[in-house]
Every structure is written in C-alpha cells, then in structure tokens.
Amino acid sequence: MSDQIATLGQLLDGAGTQWRAFDIGRHITKLDKKQFLAIEQAQVPYPYPLAGHAWLAIQFWDTKASKEPYVWFLKFPLDEQSMLVSASRDHFADMVIQALGTEITGEQADGKLDNNPYVFTPNANKLAAFNAQVKVLLKQPASQYYEHAQLYFSGKIGFDNWQSVALQGIADFALRLDSDTNLSNLQKAWAHLPIEVLQPLSAMLEHVEIPTSMSELLVDYTQAAISNNDTVAITAALRSVSKGQAQGLCAQLVDTVLSSPVRHDSDVLLTIAGRCFKQLENPERLHVFMDNCAHHQKIEELFPSIFADLVAIPTIRPHLLGLLRKENRSETLARAIGRLFS
C-alpha cells in the first residue's frame, strides 16, 4: 500500500472529494470527521458496534462535478475491544486503489466494487431512511412518493388504503416531520395506523430525533398497548422514541415496559437492546433489563446473544462487566451469567 494513504479519510481527501461518514448499524448517525479519524487510527473504540462489525455509509462527491454523491456501504470487523481491525480497512483501500486508482468518482467507478468483501447492501428500510436523510442534508426535494405519503398520513384517503403508500414515501415523511403539518398529522393518525404502516414507519422514526410532544404521545400510547398485550405496538413505540430529543421520556418508556407483563417478551427485549441501548448505560436499568432476559423461557438462545451484543458497546461494557461481580443478583440472573462462562 502506498505510504501516503493510511486511512479512508486520506483516500477520499487524496481523490479530491468532499465526504461524510455515517454509522448505519443501529441508528443512522453522522460521525464527525475528527471522531472518524480517531476510529480509523484505533485511538477510540467504534461507538455503535453491531454483530462484531462497524456498519458504515460513506457519502462522497467530486467538488468539481455536479453529479449526485456516491455512497459506499461498508462493514468492517471489530476486535473484542470494539476497535476497528485496520488490516481489513487497509485491504479495502488497496482494492479500491487497484480497481479505480484515485479516480473514485469517475464514470469507470460504477460497479467496480460490486464483489468487494467489505461492501454490503442495507435492507430496504435502512436504504429508504438513508436516502431520505441524505436528501434532507443536501437540501434536495424528497422523492416522488412523498406527497402521496403526506396525503395518507393526513387521513384524507383512509388509513386502510395503505397499499398505495411507498416505503420511500414513508421514509421521506418520517425524516421531514418539521415540514408542513407532518408532525400534527402524524400525532392525529398514530392510533389509527394499521400494522402494515406502523412497522415500516417505526423503522424510519428510529433514525429521527422526534420532538418531545411526539415522545409524550408514544408514552401514553404504550400504556394502552401494554393493557392490550400488544407487543407489536409496544416495539413500534420503543423504536420510534429511541433517538428522540427527550431521552428522559425514552428512559421512562423503557422502565414502564421493563416492569410490565410483556417484560420477558423476546421482541420487546431485542428492541430495547438494539434501539434503546443508550438507556442501558444506566447500571440499575441494565441490571433490571438483564434480569428480564434471564427470565425468558428460551434463555439459552436469548441471554448469550444479548450479552454479546451489549458487551461490545463501549458505553455499556463496563456496567455489564460490573454486573458479573454484583452481589445482590437474582438466582436466575446468577445462573444465566454462570452459563456464559461454563
């Protein structure tokens, strides 16, 4: 590898591009360049590991050309301390240089990295949310499906007529809650939305810092969903509130769910671990959460996988390791922890 290029940042700078990096493993979160450089130089652990990898979207564009930005969706392995395995990054950079040289934004770049082992295609929900977010960041108009989605959420075509609403339209609507009457329309519509809309919508809202009023609505809505034992509605609410501006309300919602009759449900527990993970940085809440996981009937599968997922997150790791030494644990939790090491 050439002496000049030691990081992806240098590769992109050297090719004369403007670029930005996002984590897209859990939430779509923009990584600032200083933070990204520190991750690349293994000075800090990757903040949002998922399944032992960093899941990145790198968006870049040629400052001289007016073409749409390019995006690389990349997954790189992390070590057990959640540090980037730099050999993989170097291997990727080498492959880029061999395939494209430094002309990474030219016509010849299209399709050249299709078989690259570090390139992946996000699922449809993630892709739609990312496209919507990028258009907002670049101050570009939303997709052609946006207006019909707005019409749907306004209630004017009937909430049962969801078949004509495109996934990209739902994503554009969710990422533009501060436009027009989108927020108030959503608040009026929420309780009437069928599951076919609620699930993809919550998969978009988990990337949005929803305003406090929306989080308040979701807290109330979840109380009703708990009474009805409606785990689909509860997981949709948890996902939607997870990146909200009012993280205190997210914590309140998680606490409510963790002390409710659905507290041992695997979908509920997996949603909290995957999306509301920030709330598990609190040692007491983490203890309650892990105890609930230990009481799940399929403990042999669920507990080890959630433990492995959370112990990789740098902000949760010390608290989870602290739980291993804690005295006042339930017998069930003590046994579940014992099984991890037997």
CB-side neighbour CA atoms (13 Å) of 14:
17
Task: Tell me the pLDDT band of 96, cut-offs 50, 70 and 90.
Answer: confident
Kindly state the tokens that stand for 171.
Answer: 């994503």
Percent of the chain with pLDDT over 90: 78
pLDDT digits (tens, 9 = 90+) for 101-136: 666 766 655 566 777 899 999 999 999 999 999 999
Asked whether the predicted pLDDT for residue 66 surpasses 90, the reply is no
For residue 327, the model assigns a pLDDT of 86
Q: How much is the average pLDDT of 278-296? A: 96
Helix axis angle, 283-294 to 266-275, nearest 10°: 150
Q: Residue ranges of the domains in the chain?
A: 8-111, 124-340
Outline where DSSP puts E strands in the chain: 17-23, 29-31, 53-62, 70-77
State whether the Cα torsion 232-56-28-107 is positive or negative.
negative
Inform me whether the pLDDT recorded for 3 exceeds 60: no
pLDDT tens-digit series, residues 247-259: 999 999 999 999 9
The pLDDT assigned to 2 comes to 45
Helix (H, G, I), strand (E, B) or coil at 20: strand
Q: What is the pLDDT of residue 99?
A: 77
Residue 1: per-residue pLDDT: 39
Q: Which of 199, 207, 73, 38 is nearest to 137 (CA)?
A: 207
Enter the pTM of the model: 0.93
Residue scoring higher pLDDT (286 or 70):
286
**Which is nearest to 291 in space by CA: 248, 242, 328?**
328
